[in-house]
Structure 1
Amino acid sequence: MEIDRKFINVIVLGLAFMLIFTAFQTMGNIQQTVIKSITQEDPTFKADGFISLAIIYAVLSISNWISPSIISVIGPKWSMLVGGFFYSLYIASFFLQQSWALYTCSALLGFGAALIWTGQGNYLTLNSNGTNISRNSGVFWAVFQCSFLFGNLFVFFLFQGREQIDQQTRTILYSVLLVVGTLGLLLVLVLPAMKDSDAARNSNSKSGDGPMATRGTQLAQGPLDAFLRSIKLFFTKDMGLLSVAFFYIGIEYSFLSGVYSPSIGFTLEFEDSKRLVGLSGIFIGVGEIAGGALFGILGSKTVRYGRDPIILTGFLTQAVGFFLIFLNIPDNAPFGDTTDTAFITSSSFLAILSSFLVAFGDACFNTQVYSILGGIYPNDSAPAFALFKFVSSMASAASFFYSPYIGIHPQLIIIGILLFAGTICFWLVEWRSVYKRAHLIETSNPDSAVDKEFD
């Protein structure tokens, strides 16, 4: 009964994030397109969508160093609630159509994002153990990524046949997204509060991730301890290797969610290109949901057979997707409307297929990152997930800062190099984990099962 209750917590958590990020991810996906329309009506509006997103991820990156300390004081539930409020505030800022309001709320959102995501990783871990962390990660990811599907389906119909996103259309858009995000906050509010001592109880039952899942008793005791453990954890060998994968995820996801879909909308070779922005977002959601659902179902086998086959699947699907984008989208598409041709005749089908493939691969990487962090660092889940978000957010901020200045083809070359490096580094950590687990089985000495979270 207890396990069922905790699984229900995971599902409710996923639903809450689905609603909150239906608002935010939909806005992020179309933000540059909307801002261009506002600028055409009001030339005094000088904001830039890429700069807004860069501010969000830069502040998020820095804030991740203090989010574990805050969570140690108020707990993951209230951290997620405070963080979620700033997401709603960010959506509301678009009503003002003022650059200062957008950039200020972007900075506040960056701080809130650190709280909500570190709290989410901590809360997911507290509701999981070594045998179900992969399943729970996959289920959360599949439910959460429905945000891409529903939000962009709404945009697909709302923007139908519109070359210019007028004031009335934008008002409808902001209002609906704000209501949806607020409903997500209400779901977070109904989640039961949990504390780090629940991790110890999880450790006493069904810990199945080998030496990495053995739950010790050393838990963060306060804000300063949480901060110091974050610093210590950052300089371990495994975290150093994983940081390469984290950096890739940040670059890749910012490209997928903030650069690629607007580039489709700016490619005038496509028929009804603005409408395709919403359709691209829908298939990003389909890819994310498919990946999360598949690896949620196979979660019980992930620990047994290793995470590397799933990472290989993600590598291959993303490599194909990025190559198709390279051929199908003109280099200057991120900068605004263009009639330039790509290497091939731009195909709407290939554009949408690429959205699906890259998103499916993104789900492969993210579900396995959640799984490996929850397995290796059960007693330090808040610092571990904070470091994941620190590195990935730093990468996303860098991506959004350079996106307005370099074409889509150089961006894809950078992504391709990081995809290869990130995959190799993740495999190295996974193989180390498998080796330690096999070594423990050989020794069959329970006393040797010490939690080797720090090398």
Structure 2
Amino acid sequence: MGLGEKEEETQQNETPPSSNLRYNSPLVQISLIGLVCFCCPGMFNALSGMGGGGQVDPTAANNANTALYTTFSVFGVLGGGIYNVLGPQLTLFSGCSTYVLYVGAFLYYNHHHSQVFAIIAGAILGVGAGLLWAGQGAIVTSYPDAPRKGTYFSLFWSIFNLGGVIGGFIPFILNYNQSEASSVSDGTYIAFMCFMSVGTVLALSILPPRRVVRPDGTRPSNVKYNSVTKEGMEILKLFLNWKMLMIVPASWASNFFYSYQFNNVNGLMFNLRTRGLNNVFYWGAQMLGSVAIGYVLDFSFASRRTRGFVGIGIVAVLGTAIWGGGLANQLNYTFDNKPVKLDFKDSGNDYAGPFVLYFSYGLLDAMFQSMIYWVIGALADDSETLSRYSGFYKGVQSAGSAVAWQVDTHTTPLLNQLIVNWALTTISYPLLAALVALAVKDGDKIDEEGANGAKPPSAPVFVDESNGTGIELGKSL
């Protein structure tokens, strides 16, 4: 079937499957995309969390990340349309393959100290990450049925961040006896590359939405893949979509704080082996945070909007407390008055407070991003629309990240960085609450407005010639 053609088969409710452990169930497919992200961005996060990409001087990593997130900001937005044209397998495979190249560039940098390869690899990874995360967003927001979107996202986020936990152990173990003056060993980079190669191959196991069957017998989408022209037009409409505009501050903030937390908290306050150990708990906290907020957003109240308001309120209160603790910690040091490096074995009580703060940053990150994905998933139910919404979110997020890494490269005062991060997240909460009030329906009903804010035309009807009944495509979706 060619591009742009509708799948001319009836999408009736099928007999509900007997098991959630089928290969074509949302549970298995969400688990598989979680494993893909465990191997690729999960390991990337573990490396980034070391500060400076594992290097003593963070300049090369900051410049590579700026290139990465610049291209990511473009292909994050375009990624949803590319996903709708190419489908999940080719989109995800192409995206994952770029992670191996990026880590290979830092292996090269360990011996030749030339930033050029790292920056080029970063730019290429930005393209690949845009494809991967647009596909991931479409899958985790559209494959589950509406009552379980928060829970399934928590499952994905937990598996994905287990990659950060395992990835944190790799530099901790392999660099346990390294001096503070050392960068991470070659073996660390090679181990990350092996995991990423496995994830690239595993991406081919993801099924397209038309082949996924939910527990109630429905499928995520009745559309196969669109033309490039249509996708281009639909992507442009996102910039006039009031729902997407209300998500912009949260999108911009959601990765903006990474450069501050990785380089200027973990990187400045702790020695090499302790940074690896801290990352184990940072990404472990992400697993706890996603499960906790997922439960609130799916099970706490009967009303879907009430669950949204309560979830946003919890994240807002917790975020205020954690950033307040970060402010108290940041008043103790600056770039010109750097702290004595802490070690988990030798620093005693001095280590406990900063460790708890860094752990809490991971907890907040997961809850904040899970909340945003839940809101996006509540705005539509089909893979086609949600792939665009998710791509827009990742594009804006990445534009913020590109700016953040350069903010750190130019040694912006640490207190200023913290205040900006705190302000960006705080601005997001009332806007997300307003979006829930205006666009999220109670119960499990999805607002079926299209990407441009207009009601879609009536779905086409195909006649089942065996009994003469008409089937409205998408009725059960």
Which category of TM-score, normalised to the shorter sequence, fits these structures?
Answer: 0.7 to 0.9
Q: Give yes or no for contact 2:80–2:389 (8 Å, CA) kept in 1.
A: no
* Equivalent position of 1:378 in the other structure: 381
Task: Give the secondary structure class of the aligned counterpart of 1:378.
Answer: coil
Equivalent-residue separation in structure 1 for 2:341 and 2:165 (angstroms): 30
* Equivalent position of 2:474 in the other structure: none
| Candidates 72, 89, 96, aligned match of 2:84 | 72
CA shift, 1:298, in A, is 4.8
5+ long unaligned stretches in structure 1: 40-46, 208-214, 266-272, 442-447
Q: Give yes or no for contact 1:153–1:278 (8 Å, CA) kept in 2.
A: yes
Q: Residues 377 and 166 from structure 1, CA distance in 2 versus in 1: closer, same or farther, beyond 3 angstroms?
A: same
Q: Residues 309 and 139 from structure 1, CA distance in 2 versus in 1: closer, same or farther, beyond 3 angstroms?
A: same
CA shift, 1:114, in A, is 0.1
CA shift, 1:204, in A, is 8.6
Equivalent-residue separation in structure 2 for 1:278 and 1:411 (angstroms): 23
Q: Give yes or no for contact 2:45–2:164 (8 Å, CA) kept in 1.
A: yes
Q: Give yes or no for contact 1:317–1:360 (8 Å, CA) kept in 2.
A: no
* Equivalent position of 2:6 in the other structure: none
Q: Residues 322 and 156 from structure 1, CA distance in 2 versus in 1: closer, same or farther, beyond 3 angstroms?
A: farther
* Equivalent position of 1:290 in the other structure: 288
Equivalent-residue separation in structure 1 for 2:198 and 2:359 (angstroms): 28
Q: Give yes or no for contact 2:81–2:232 (8 Å, CA) kept in 1.
A: yes
Q: Give yes or no for contact 2:34–2:160 (8 Å, CA) kept in 1.
A: yes
Q: Residues 96 and 333 from structure 1, CA distance in 2 versus in 1: closer, same or farther, beyond 3 angstroms?
A: farther
Task: Give the secondary structure class of the aligned counterpart of 1:163.
Answer: coil
Equivalent-residue separation in structure 1 for 2:432 and 2:447 (angstroms): 23
Q: Residues 12 and 217 from structure 1, CA distance in 2 versus in 1: closer, same or farther, beyond 3 angstroms?
A: closer
Q: Residues 340 and 274 from structure 1, CA distance in 2 versus in 1: closer, same or farther, beyond 3 angstroms?
A: closer
CA shift, 1:244, in A, is 1.4
Q: TM-score scaled to structure 1, two decimals?
A: 0.82
Pairing of 1:262-277 with structure 2 (within 5 A): 262-265=267-270, 273-277=271-275
Deviations 1:308-348 (A, max 9, x none): 2222222222322222222224676568965599xxx9932
1:397 aligns with 2:402: yes
Q: Give yes or no for contact 2:64–2:122 (8 Å, CA) kept in 1.
A: yes
Equivalent-residue separation in structure 2 for 1:53 and 1:198 (angstroms): 36
1:18 aligns with 2:38: yes
Q: Residues 71 and 143 from structure 1, CA distance in 2 versus in 1: closer, same or farther, beyond 3 angstroms?
A: same
Equivalent-residue separation in structure 2 for 1:160 and 1:204 (angstroms): 50
1:194 aligns with 2:208: yes
| Candidates 132, 148, 159, aligned match of 1:116 | 132
In structure 2, give the amino acid aligned to 1:399.
A
Deviations 1:388-422 (A, max 9, x none): 01111111111111112212211111112112111
Equivalent-residue separation in structure 1 for 2:336 and 2:45 (angstroms): 20
Q: Give yes or no for contact 1:135–1:298 (8 Å, CA) kept in 2.
A: no
Equivalent-residue separation in structure 1 for 2:175 and 2:336 (angstroms): 20
Q: Residues 183 and 452 from structure 1, CA distance in 2 versus in 1: closer, same or farther, beyond 3 angstroms?
A: closer
Q: Give yes or no for contact 1:135–1:300 (8 Å, CA) kept in 2.
A: yes
Q: Give yes or no for contact 1:140–1:292 (8 Å, CA) kept in 2.
A: no
Q: How many residues align?
A: 418
CA shift, 1:85, in A, is 0.6
Deviations 1:195-241 (A, max 9, x none): 4x569x7699689xxxxxxx997886222212211221232222111
1:237 aligns with 2:237: no
Q: Give yes or no for contact 2:157–2:290 (8 Å, CA) kept in 1.
A: yes
Pairing of 1:82-161 with structure 2 (within 5 A): 82-97=94-109, 98-161=114-177
In structure 2, give the amino acid aligned to 1:177.
F
Equivalent-residue separation in structure 2 for 1:263 and 1:311 (angstroms): 31
1:184 aligns with 2:199: yes
Equivalent-residue separation in structure 2 for 1:449 and 1:171 (angstroms): 51
Equivalent-residue separation in structure 1 for 2:221 and 2:125 (angstroms): 34
Q: Residues 219 and 391 from structure 1, CA distance in 2 versus in 1: closer, same or farther, beyond 3 angstroms?
A: farther
* Equivalent position of 1:280 in the other structure: 278
Equivalent-residue separation in structure 2 for 1:452 and 1:351 (angstroms): 46
CA shift, 1:110, in A, is 0.5
Equivalent-residue separation in structure 1 for 2:413 and 2:333 (angstroms): 5
Q: Give yes or no for contact 2:99–2:125 (8 Å, CA) kept in 1.
A: yes
Q: Give yes or no for contact 2:43–2:164 (8 Å, CA) kept in 1.
A: no
1:420 aligns with 2:426: yes
CA shift, 1:152, in A, is 1.1
CA shift, 1:450, in A, is 5.0
Which has the larger displacement, 174-183 or 158-167? 158-167
In structure 1, give the amino acid aligned to 2:356.
L
CA shift, 1:258, in A, is 4.9
In structure 1, give the amino acid aligned to 2:165.
L
* Equivalent position of 2:8 in the other structure: none
Equivalent-residue separation in structure 2 for 1:128 and 1:336 (angstroms): 50
Equivalent-residue separation in structure 1 for 2:365 and 2:95 (angstroms): 24
Deviations 1:119-166 (A, max 9, x none): 111122342121221111111111111122111122223333533464
Equivalent-residue separation in structure 2 for 1:402 and 1:6 (angstroms): 40
Percent same amino acid at aligned positions? 16
Equivalent-residue separation in structure 2 for 1:190 and 1:127 (angstroms): 15
Bigger Cα Rg: 2
Q: Which has the higher helix share?
A: 1
Equivalent-residue separation in structure 2 for 1:416 and 1:297 (angstroms): 25
Pairing of 1:424-439 with structure 2 (within 5 A): 424-434=430-440, 436-437=441-442
Q: Give yes or no for contact 2:60–2:118 (8 Å, CA) kept in 1.
A: no
Which has the larger displacement, 89-98 or 332-341? 332-341
Equivalent-residue separation in structure 2 for 1:284 and 1:220 (angstroms): 38
Which has the larger displacement, 243-252 or 315-324? 315-324
CA shift, 1:90, in A, is 0.4
Equivalent-residue separation in structure 2 for 1:255 and 1:219 (angstroms): 42
CA shift, 1:245, in A, is 1.2
* Equivalent position of 2:308 in the other structure: 307
* Equivalent position of 1:360 in the other structure: 363
Deviations 1:281-310 (A, max 9, x none): 122112100012224445532663422222
Q: TM-score scaled to structure 2, two decimals?
A: 0.79
* Equivalent position of 1:49 in the other structure: 61
Pairing of 1:341-360 with structure 2 (within 5 A): 347-360=350-363
In structure 1, give the amino acid aligned to 2:115.
S
In structure 1, give the amino acid aligned to 2:208.
M
Q: Give yes or no for contact 1:7–1:136 (8 Å, CA) kept in 2.
A: yes
